[in-house]
Amino acid sequence: MWLAKEEHLESISIGAGILGTGGGGNPYIGQLRARQALREHGPVTVLDPEELDPDSQIVCVGGIGAPTVGIEKVRDWQAYHALRAIEEFTGKEATALISNEIGGSNSLEPLIPAAMAGLPVVDADGMGRAFPEFQMKTFFVHGVPYCPMAICDEKGNTVIIPNAISAKWAERLARAATIQMGCVACYAVAPMSARQVMETSVHHTLSLARDLGDAVKVARAGQQDPISAILKTHPGRVLFSGKVVDVERRTVGGFARGSVVIEGLDDHRGESMAIEFQNENLIARRDGQPVCTVPDLICLVETERGEPITTELLRYGFRVTVLGFPAPDLWTGPEGLAVVGPRAFGYDLDYTPLVV
C-alpha cells in the first residue's frame, strides 16, 4: 500500500508513456487534471491486489473518446459520474477502482474519481500497456463480464449498456454514444470481485510506471544513461538504437496507422529497423525480420533523455532507442492472442515471444 500524491504524477506519466508503447496521447492534460483532483481532495491510497478484502467491489474506469478533442474540450470528472451511475444500476457499492490501461493518460484517470469518492485504487490494470479499444482488456479475455457498463459525458448525460453480445459490440455501442456526447466521455464497468482482479489483471503496474519514471528522472539528474536505468527497473531488451529517417502516416477507420524507419547508430550502424503502428507500436522488424510483435511491448524513447515518444510526435531526426518488454502472461495464451495478437491487427504473422 502506498499513497499517490502530487509529486508522483510526473513519474507515473513518464512511466506510463514508456509502457504506452507509442499510444495514450499527450500526457500533459491528464497529469494536470489528476493534480487538480489531488489538490482538492487529498492523496489516494494505492492497494496491492493481494491487499484487497475478499468482499471488494472493484470498478474499472477509463476515458473514451478522441485525444484530439480532449485537448480542446478538456475532460472533467466524467469518470466519477460513470462510477456513481454503475453503482446505482447494479446496486453494488464500489470499494476500490482500477485502471483500464497503464499507457498514457488513462493510467491517471481513476485517481480523479478515487480522490473525489475517497476510494483506493488497485495497483494493477487491464492491459499492462496501451491498446486502442475497450474490448482489449485482460479482464474480458479471461471471463470478466464487460457489461453492464455506464458512459457519462460532462453535461450530465448517462448511457447504460446493460448487455452486449461481445466486448467488441460493447466497444461499438459505447463509441457511438461517445461521439454523440462530443467525444470526451468516461466509462465505468460493473464491479469485479477481488478474486477476478487477482486472476485477470496485470499486477503492480501503477507502481511500475512510478518506478520507471523515477529511474528516468534520477538518471537525468545524475547525467547517467536513462536507458539502462529503465532496464534495471523492468526487465526488457534494447531492440535497436538509431535515428528516425522516415515516418509515414495515414488514418484508417479512425486510427492513426503508419510506420517509422530508424537507421542504426553506434552498435547498430549499418542496420535499420521499421516499426509499424496503429496508435500503438505493433511490429518491429530489423532488416526486414520481425524481432518483436504485439502484444509484447515496443517502446520508443529518446536516447539522450529517456523521454517516451508517442507516435504522433515521431519525426525525422529523433535519436531513439527501441526497447522491447515481454507482454504480461495474461496476453500470450490463445485467448489473449485472438484479441491482441498480430493477426488481430491484420498482420499475416505469428506472435513470437521476445526473449530477454
Partner 1 sequence: MLIGIDVGGTNTDAVLMDGTTLLAKAKTPTSGDVTSGIMAALEKVLSGIPVQLIAGVMLGTTHFTNALLERRGLAPTAVVRLSLPATRLLPPLVDWPNDLRNAMGGFTYMASGGYEFDGREISPLDFDELGEIVRDIRQKGVEAVAVSGVFSPVNPTQEREAGAFIQRELPHVQITLSHENGRVGLLERENAAALNACLAKVGERSISSIKQAMEAMGLTAPLYLSQNDGTLMDESFAARFPVFAIASGPTNSMRGGAHLSGLSDCIIVDVGGTTTDIGALVNGFPREASLAVNIAGVRTNFRMPDVVSIALGGGSIVRPETLPEPLAVGPESVGFRLGVQALVFGGSTLTATDVAVAGGLAQLGDPALVSGLDTELGRRTLQQIKQRIETVVDQVKLSPSPVPVVLVGGGSLLVGESLVGASQVLRPEHGDVANAIGAAIAQVGGQIEKVFSLEDVGRDEAMASIRAEAIDRAVAAGAMPGTVEVVELDEIPLTYLPGNATLIRAKAVGDLRISPRG
**182 interacts with partner 1 by CB under 8 A:** yes
Give the whole-angstrom CA distance, residue 127 versus residue 200. Answer: 10
Give the whole-angstrom CA distance, residue 208 versus residue 19. Answer: 9
The residue (of 111 and 208) whose beta carbon lies closer to partner 1 is 111
The residue (of 48 and 154) whose beta carbon lies closer to partner 1 is 154
Question: Could you say which residues in the range 83-112 bind partner 1, by CB under 8 A?
Answer: 112
Q: Site mask, partner 1, residues 246-265, x = CB under 8 A? A: ----xx--xxx------x--
Could you tell me where the beta strands, DSSP code E, fall in 87-233? 96-99, 121-125, 149-152, 158-161, 184-192, 202-203
Q: Site mask, partner 1, residues 314-353, x = CB under 8 A? A: -xxxxx----------------------------------
Give the whole-angstrom CA distance, residue 120 versus residue 111. Answer: 8
Q: Which residues of 199-227 are buried (b: 16+ CB within 10 A; e: fewer)?
A: bbbbbbbbbbbbbbbbbbbebbeeeeebb
Q: Looking at beta carbons, which pairs linking 298-301 to residues 24 or more positions away fall under 8 Å?
A: 298/21, 298/22, 298/239, 298/322, 298/323, 298/324, 299/18, 299/19, 299/20, 299/21, 299/22, 299/323, 299/324, 299/325, 300/22, 300/260, 300/275, 301/18, 301/226, 301/227, 301/230
The residue (of 75 and 204) whose beta carbon lies closer to partner 1 is 75
The single residue among 6, 10, 48, 154 that binds partner 1, judged by CB under 8 A, is: 154
In this structure, what C-alpha cell is assigned to residue 82? 460513470
**183 interacts with partner 1 by CB under 8 A:** yes
The residue (of 156 and 222) whose beta carbon lies closer to partner 1 is 156
The single residue among 172, 220, 237, 243 that binds partner 1, judged by CB under 8 A, is: 243
**77 interacts with partner 1 by CB under 8 A:** yes
Q: Which range of residues in 52-60, 215-223, 244-252, 329-337 is near partner 1 by CB under 8 A?
A: 244-252
Cβ neighbours for 54, distance < 8 A, ≥ 6 positions apart: 193, 194, 195
> For residue 313, what is the DSSP state?
G
Give the whole-angstrom CA distance, residue 78 versus residue 290. Answer: 41
Find, among 18, 49, 62, the residue nearest to 200 by Cα.
Answer: 49
The residue (of 28 and 92) whose beta carbon lies closer to partner 1 is 28
CB 182 to partner 1: min, Å: 4
The single residue among 1, 54, 55, 72 that binds partner 1, judged by CB under 8 A, is: 72
CB 80 to partner 1: min, Å: 10
In this structure, what C-alpha cell is assigned to residue 152? 457519462
Q: Site mask, partner 1, residues 186-215, x = CB under 8 A? A: ------------------------------
Q: Is the peptide bond before 295 cis (omega within 30 degrees of 0)?
A: yes
Question: Do the Cβ atoms of 320 and 244 come closer than 8 Å?
Answer: yes
**231 interacts with partner 1 by CB under 8 A:** no
Burial of 356 (0-12, 13-18, 19+ CB in 10 A): exposed
Q: Which range of residues in 29-37, 42-50, 189-197, 326-334 is near partner 1 by CB under 8 A?
A: 29-37
CB 255 to partner 1: min, Å: 6
The residue (of 13 and 90) whose beta carbon lies closer to partner 1 is 13
The single residue among 15, 24, 63, 67 that binds partner 1, judged by CB under 8 A, is: 67
**269 interacts with partner 1 by CB under 8 A:** no
**75 interacts with partner 1 by CB under 8 A:** yes
The residue (of 61 and 354) whose beta carbon lies closer to partner 1 is 61
Number of residues in contact with partner 1 under rule CB under 8 A: 42
165, amino acid identity:
I
Contact footprint for partner 1 (CB under 8 A): 28-29, 32-33, 36-37, 65-69, 71-77, 112, 154-156, 175, 179, 182-184, 243, 245, 250-251, 254-256, 263, 279, 313, 315-319
